[in-house]
Amino acid sequence: MKAIVKHEWRKTEKGIYLPKSTPELVTIPKFKYLSIHGEGNPTSATFTEYIQALYSLAYAIKMTLKKTDVLPENYSDWTVYPLEGVWDISERAKKNFNGIINKNELVYNLMIRQPEFIGLDIFNEILESTKKKKPQRLLERIQFTEITEGLCVQMLHIGSFENEIKTFKVMEDFANTNNLKRKSKVHKEIYLSDFRKVSEEKLKTVLRFQIQD
């Protein structure tokens, strides 16, 4: 029997998940995600619940398929992808924006990418199974979605989330120098470090924003 090679995103998708500490232009194709929408301060207990729900389902999908006899076409085992977040502020906050972001007015979509062979049928089946085996109120809010980011500027940020504004300034200067226009103030963060265990100054986060066509 032929051995199934495990997909390691840290090794095979470095251009997407392990950028350098300098800005770069990258094109992100369509990917599949588990996604959950939330609002409010990311230091809240609810925010942690969102993350727990996402990882609960992500690992349930991985482990269920690993044990099943009938595998989807093109299946391979994989390392669970990192947590990602797309960040914006509420419409109400935009109307009254004074240049200072109130974390209680943040809106976000947290997500974990899924392999290409995962389809809506697998998602629905394992979601229902997970609800029964490991009930959690937020599981019902997880959606299966496809997202194409397209042309983006990205950069590795090292340090506190509070200092991301400095990295975004470097990224925006890079865009301006190359006659590129940022699509909006919405941005993505990919969390390479576990912020529950890693000190602030050592946190590694991929920052990314879309460029207008």
The closest alpha carbon to 80, from 149, 17, 145, 19, belongs to 17
**Report field, pTM of the whole predicted structure over 0.85:** yes
Burial class (CB in 10 A: 0-12, 13-18, 19+), 179: exposed
Angle 181-31-29 from CA coordinates, rounded to 5°: 45
Q: What's the longest Cα–Cα distance across the chain? A: 63
Q: Please give the chain's pLDDT, 213 residues, in tens.
A: 445 679 999 999 999 999 999 999 999 999 999 999 999 999 999 999 999 999 999 999 999 999 998 899 999 999 999 999 999 999 888 887 877 888 999 999 999 999 999 999 999 999 999 999 999 999 999 999 999 999 999 999 999 999 999 999 999 999 999 999 999 999 999 999 988 788 999 999 999 999 998
C-alpha R_g of the chain: 18
Cα–Cα distance, 56 to 132 (Å, whole number): 13
